[in-house]
Amino acid sequence: MSSCPLPNAETLLNAEINWLKMVRENVKTTGDTQVDEAVLEGHLGIAKELLSFMPPDKKYEIGSEDKRPEPINLVRELVEDFIFPASRLMLHLQRTGELCADQAVPVCSTPLTTNAAFDLLVGLCVACAPNMRLLVHMLTDMFYSDRDEPLEEWDYLPPVGPRPQKGFVGLKNAGATCYMNSVLQQLYMVESIRVSILASEGAAVDLNEDFSGEERLEGEGNMETNENECNDEKCGAEESRKEYNIGILKQVQAIFGHLAYSKLQYYVPRGLWRHFKLQGEPVNLREQQDAVEFFMSLVESIDEALKALGQEQIMGKILGGSYSDQKICKGCPHRYSKEEPFSVISVDIRNHSTLLDSLEQYVKGELLEGADAYHCDKCNKKVVTVKRLCVKKLPPILAIQLKRFEYDFERVCAIKFNDYFEFPRDLDMDPYTAKLEGEMIDCDYDEISKDICTKYQLSGIVVHSGQASGGHYYSYILHRHTDGTSKWYKFDDGEVSECKMDDDEEIKTQCFGGEYMGEVFDHMLKRLSYRRQKRWWNAYMLFYTRLDVEENSLIKSLNELSLSDTQLGTMKMPPAIERSVRKQNIKFMHNRNQFSAEYFQFVRKLVSCNSAPLTRQHNSEKLNSETEELLMLSCQLASRFLFHTGFHTKKTLRGAATEWYDVLCHHLRSSKPVRSWFAHNMLFKHPHRFCEYLLMCPSTEVRSAFMKIIVFLAHFSLQDGPCPPPMIDAPLILLDPHATLSDHLLHAVLLLLHKEVADHGRHLPHFFTLFHMYASLGINEKTQLLKLNVPATFMLVALDEGPGPAIKYQYPELTKLHQVVSQLIRCCDVSHKCQSSQMSQGNVALPNPYGDPVCPDFIMPIQPQAAEILFGRTSYIKKMIEDANLSDETVKLLQFCCWENPHFSRTVLSELLWQIAYAYCHELRHHMDLLLAMLLLEDSWQTHRIHNALKGVPEEREGLFDTVQRSKNHYQKRAYQCIKCMVALFSKCRAAHQMLHSNVEIKRKWMVAVEWLQDELERRPNGPNAQYYYNNWSPPAQSNESTNGYFLERSSSARKTLERACELCPEEEPEVEELLEEGEGSQPEEQQAPPPPPQQRPAPNPAYSHNNTTTATTAQRILSKSHMWVSSPEGSGQQQPPVQSTSNEEGTEPGTSSQSADDQPPPPATTDQPPSYH
């Protein structure tokens, strides 16, 4: 679109800029844009589109040029006035320690207008280095300077949200302080109380005192307590009480100030938590107290503080009334009256269903006669007297307690009554006052005004939900607007929301208590049913406002200002509290600015808008200076943003970490100076980041993104030339003068092995994946890692032998470590360790086919330290074999080292046979697969490996047949898996198949093993009540490879294994049958020679085919034992029992000696036996 001509684009753009400046001035003078948000968004969007027609020099003139007589400075105005005014004030506060008088009111106050302003900023910076330079500098100064500590918390989201538009601020609950919050909100919402308390002077006098409620240093609260205790000891009790009351007043002032003007969703009244005492003792913040008790204590403390400061006791004036305790003598004309003050009227709810009934009973007189007759002082005798209590003085705000709690002395606990008790919205107290209670007493008549209003309207309810021993308090409060309308709000700790308490049914449901029909699950009927239940949430305190209480118009306007939150300071309050509120608001808005979704999207757009073209990214010499600077500025902003805050935030805010990796690497790929700046300033200058993002970070995708950044940077800086050592304070420095930035980067990561890897073993896979990914990039990368001695170092780490302490994590995941070792070792020449089995005949070792296919030629001979660990010891081989998560690359390493290497082959085979003989049955599959892979190696030592695997390593390990014989009674799954492994071996390996047919002893042991498997599979399930036979329908059996237990599962896989084993049985010869009949104690006198080595291997034998008829005789003989194994003819309805074995011992074949495999003498060493390994 920018290629299309638009002759008047500059004129239109100037008009849009002037309009935006006009809106900015409106906000500065009135605090409001005075335009609709959609209109503002539209003008910002038009300006952004018009900018696309401007060349870079014109953008510079509009955005940041300050040499003109009247500079436009649109970039600065957008940042400081339209989007981040609070951050500008925060920056001034950090630099000078003083708060500016300016108000932090942004021109763009909605997400849509903010996004439009951000897009305009991005448009100003496209292809314009001066604008980009200014913007990056301003953002860095505001959010990412050295004054701002980087985030340490992972998955961070701002804990407190913003105050609702024209809404109210909540109070945080410390655990069980809801009784405080519900009462404080009721008092705050009484305008006369709020204004009077905030206007009180003399309590908050320290201008530097912090009332923000934020967490302080550990132990600070204890120091305050100790200080108060010292004061209590030094000062008298009266002075101490005075200071306590003034402290309470100060904390209530702080709470009211923040409730009025805070921009946060809720305020934390930490000061009141620390200072408040109930009956002289500090309160436990996690223990619920009585709301009425707190109310009366708070009212008393505030009035005492105001009295001590010489000011009007506003709480008693607004909330305080008085009783008239009257005694009217019937036997004489005398009357007596005693006035008693009250701040709460407590009424009974038991045996009363309405407030009117309870109040009537409350003022009902009691006749004193007989022994209880009253003694008249004036008559000096006892007379019949009426004793009654009535209201003498009605307060402007009437508080009533519904007595729902009592103490049960029998059960020794408090109980709560959830009885139904209703109360009216409009209450007339006239029937309960002294002037209407029968005969007027002179002293009362003089004091009671005849024209006083007695009508009240319900304005607040404190609800208790739960039991007497514990529950929750919250408030409903009626807010009256200046236009005469009113609305109910629910104040539930930090949450304040509108509610429908003006509906009669709603107030009945939420406040009256009683019973209701509710759904409960009936465990007998196994379904939901309706039952009558108690409403355990009901009203506990009521607040009624007298109708003649005239609201001052000024107070009303101040109240509306506080709710609309337009300016701070219009309502009189202590300067210290005002400063604390403003400072907290600025800090909150500054913090909210950089953790908003709009800002994260803006940063991504800004750092991506000046990326170098893909066609020129690999040739940075063609980049001009301005493009180079734009790349550098983009990388600097993206790096600071990610490592200061971005990577530590929650995914819902930052998005996918891989997307930020793509943005950052776009710039790292394009320029050598950019790579150098990033490595030195973001990594080497902060070496803890290697551990923080590779080992400590709990987010998998953040660890992956950081790992990819390191790999990417090391790969592209490999050809950047020599680089001096960047980390002077490191324990080990790479002193190679030819070392590149890539070398120093990998060296820094390897330094984590000296300490950090041992302490943070949970996320080791990402650490080693970094090297695996890097080695996979090519030959140069593999050569580099080999020069850094990575294979030997990693093998020592796996063995807990260095370079640092042993890994403390219980089950470290080392699969990737083994893969890296495999990748690098298979690029090295190990031919000096190889020899042919026919070396005496002049044959040389066969070429190794298991080297790394990426390296057609070996990079270097294997390093001495790596060779010593791999070939000179057995510990690393054992460690690798024990790892149950071996990958294909690790198997290839064992094959690579076993190739034409009899010593290494013997070590691997010996360890595998030990694991097969003694490991848990459900872990055998891994070892069986590994053994099979070793036996399928087609080098000159293959037949020797197969022979020793089947019959055992001489004087070291028993073979597979011996393990089958030893395990078939009590570890049947082990024996079965050995047979299954041999089935696979004989099926896949020609040499093994020929050995089975040519070696008499192996042939005999194979037939014995197959017959045992057949006997086990045909055996009935144990027990006389068995319901299923093997050849009838049965529930699917579990796997013999992945489940615990020792006894064989009759699965379909086991049946297939038996069928394949039978097919592999060679044709029996007469002498073999005789041997089977006579027993297996004697060995055959002659054994056929093993098959020739691979160099002299004959052509394939047709008898090798599984379907060859030569195997039919043996298979039929074995299967003939189970001719009744199949189900009976159709329609017979009976199951034919299988033929039982005639063995002398369970699991021992006929003629088989019961002597264990270990006790049998080894076969005589003849020339026909394969030689043992050297």
Cα–Cα distance, 1094 to 1104 (Å, whole number) = 17
Q: Is the pLDDT of residue 561 over 70?
A: no
Q: Return the pLDDT at 809.
A: 77
Residue 845 confidence class, pLDDT cut points 50, 70, 90: confident
Q: Return the pLDDT at 1149.
A: 36
For helices 888-898 and 924-935, the axis angle rounded to 10 degrees is 40
Q: Is the pLDDT of residue 792 over 50?
A: yes
Q: Return the pLDDT at 474.
A: 96
Which residues does 342 contact at the CB level (< 8 Å), separation at least 6? 320, 321, 322, 323
Q: Return the pLDDT at 1090.
A: 43
Q: Return the pLDDT at 644.
A: 95
Region 1023-1029: mean pLDDT is: 42
Mean pLDDT is lowest, of 21-35, 366-380, 479-493, 565-579, for: 565-579
Region 168-176: mean pLDDT is: 94
Q: What are the residues facing 397 on neighbouring strands?
A: 545
Looking at per-residue pLDDT, the higher value among 308 and 554 belongs to 308
Percent pLDDT > 90 in the chain is 49
Region 63-92: mean pLDDT is: 90
HEC letters along 1092-1156 = CCHHHCCCCCHHHCCCCHHHHHHHHHHHHCCCCCCCCCCCCCCCCCCCCCCCCCCCCCCCCCCCC
Mean pLDDT is lowest, of 27-41, 366-380, 444-458, 1084-1098, for: 1084-1098
The answer to whether residues 963 and 1118 touch, using CB atoms and an 8 Å cutoff, is no
Looking at per-residue pLDDT, the higher value among 490 and 1122 belongs to 490
Residue 1145 confidence class, pLDDT cut points 50, 70, 90: very low
Alpha carbon 307 to chain centroid, angstroms? 52
Residue 5 confidence class, pLDDT cut points 50, 70, 90: low
Cα–Cα distance, 258 to 269 (Å, whole number) = 9
- Among 876, 861, 803, 800, residue whose Cα is nearest residue 830: 861
Mean pLDDT is lowest, of 121-125, 276-280, 739-743, 1112-1116, for: 1112-1116
Percent pLDDT > 70 in the chain is 81
Looking at per-residue pLDDT, the higher value among 49 and 1105 belongs to 49
pLDDT tens digits, residue range 964-986? 898 888 888 888 889 999 999 99
Residue 1117 confidence class, pLDDT cut points 50, 70, 90: low
Q: Is the pLDDT of residue 558 over 80?
A: no
Q: Is the pLDDT of residue 1173 over 60?
A: no
Q: Is the pLDDT of residue 280 over 90?
A: no
DSSP codes joined into one string, 888-955: HHHHHHHHHHHTT-HHHHHHHHHHHHHHHHHS-GGGHHHHHHHHHHHHT--STTHHHHHHHHHHEETT
CB atoms within 10 A of CB 896: 22
Region 169-192: mean pLDDT is: 95
Q: Return the pLDDT at 434.
A: 72
Q: Return the pLDDT at 231.
A: 45
- Among 392, 391, 388, 390, residue whose Cα is nearest residue 448: 392
Residue 394 confidence class, pLDDT cut points 50, 70, 90: very high
Q: Is the pLDDT of residue 590 over 90?
A: yes
Verify whether residue 453 is a known catalytic residue: no
Q: Is the pLDDT of residue 681 over 50?
A: yes
Measured between alpha carbons, how far is residue 724 from residues 153, 733, 746, 1073 in Å? 34, 10, 14, 80
Helix (H) or strand (E) holding 780: helix 779-787
Residue 550 confidence class, pLDDT cut points 50, 70, 90: low
- Beta strands 397-403 and 385-393 are unpaired
Give the position of tokens 């002597």: 1155
- Among 1015, 1018, 997, residue whose Cα is nearest residue 1006: 997
Give the position of tokens 């223990």: 287
Exposed / middle / buried, residue 92 (Cβ in 10 Å: 0-12, 13-18, 19+): middle
Give the position of tokens 């009007």: 312
The dihedral region occupied by 201, where left means phi > 0, alpha psi between -120 and 50, and beta the remainder, is beta
Q: Return the pLDDT at 1069.
A: 53
- Among 169, 46, 26, residue whose Cα is nearest residue 109: 26
SS3 assignment, position 479: strand
- Beta strands 170-171 and 266-267 are parallel
Q: Return the pLDDT at 1086.
A: 35
Q: Return the pLDDT at 160.
A: 86
Domain ranges, ordered by start, for the chain:
1-148, 170-212+237-315, 916-1020+1041-1063
Q: Is the pLDDT of residue 1112 over 50?
A: no
Instruction: Provide the b/e sequence for 427-439 (b: ≥16 CB within 10 Å).
Output: bebeebbbbebee
Mean pLDDT is lowest, of 754-758, 773-777, 882-886, for: 882-886
Helix (H) or strand (E) holding 408: strand 405-408
Measured between alpha carbons, how far is residue 171 from residues 189, 212, 301, 586 in Å? 13, 12, 21, 19
Residue 1018 confidence class, pLDDT cut points 50, 70, 90: confident
Cα–Cα distance, 1007 to 1116 (Å, whole number) = 12
Cα–Cα distance, 679 to 530 (Å, whole number) = 69
Q: Return the pLDDT at 146.
A: 84
Cα–Cα distance, 368 to 366 (Å, whole number) = 6
Region 179-195: mean pLDDT is: 95
pLDDT tens digits, residue range 988-1000? 999 999 998 898 9
Cα–Cα distance, 870 to 899 (Å, whole number) = 14
pLDDT tens digits, residue range 660-676? 999 999 999 988 999 99
The answer to whether residues 103 and 31 touch, using CB atoms and an 8 Å cutoff, is yes
Mean pLDDT is lowest, of 115-124, 253-262, 756-765, for: 756-765
Region 296-325: mean pLDDT is: 93
Verify whether residue 680 is a known catalytic residue: no
Q: Return the pLDDT at 811.
A: 75
Region 200-220: mean pLDDT is: 74
Mean pLDDT is lowest, of 123-132, 554-563, 694-703, 1052-1061, for: 554-563
Q: Return the pLDDT at 567.
A: 42
Give the position of tokens 């021992």: 1148
Structure tokens at 1015: 């006997």
Cα–Cα distance, 1006 to 1148 (Å, whole number) = 14
Region 1011-1021: mean pLDDT is: 80
Phi, psi of 392 (to 5 degrees): -95, -40
Residue 122 confidence class, pLDDT cut points 50, 70, 90: very high
Q: Return the pLDDT at 1019.
A: 77
Q: Return the pLDDT at 684.
A: 92
Looking at per-residue pLDDT, the higher value among 1097 and 1009 belongs to 1009
Q: Is the pLDDT of residue 1147 over 70?
A: no
Q: Is the pLDDT of residue 714 over 90?
A: yes
Exposed / middle / buried, residue 779 (Cβ in 10 Å: 0-12, 13-18, 19+): middle
Structure tokens at 955: 């004087």
Return the CATH superfamily for domain 170-212+237-315: Cysteine proteinases (3.90.70.10)
Q: Is the pLDDT of residue 442 over 60?
A: no
Q: Is the pLDDT of residue 354 over 70?
A: yes
Q: Return the pLDDT at 451.
A: 67
Q: Which residue type does 269 have?
A: P
Rg value, the chain, Cα? 45
Cα–Cα distance, 1161 to 625 (Å, whole number) = 85
Q: Return the pLDDT at 1076.
A: 45
The answer to whether residues 578 and 567 touch, using CB atoms and an 8 Å cutoff, is no
Residue 1156 confidence class, pLDDT cut points 50, 70, 90: very low
Catalytic residue among 92, 472, 680, 922: 472
Q: Is the pLDDT of residue 557 over 80?
A: no
The answer to whether residues 108 and 20 touch, using CB atoms and an 8 Å cutoff, is no
Q: Return the pLDDT at 469.
A: 83
Across the chain, mean pLDDT equals 82
pLDDT tens digits, residue range 465-505? 998 888 999 999 999 887 778 999 999 999 999 999 999 99
Looking at per-residue pLDDT, the higher value among 464 and 530 belongs to 464
Q: Is the pLDDT of residue 289 over 50?
A: yes
Q: Please tell me which of 319-323, 482-486, 708-712 the model is most confident about, judged by mean pLDDT.
A: 708-712
Cα–Cα distance, 870 to 1084 (Å, whole number) = 40
Catalytic residue among 125, 178, 376, 1062: 178
Q: Return the pLDDT at 236.
A: 60
- Among 360, 344, 355, 358, residue whose Cα is nearest residue 299: 344
Residue 1105 confidence class, pLDDT cut points 50, 70, 90: very low
Region 534-550: mean pLDDT is: 88
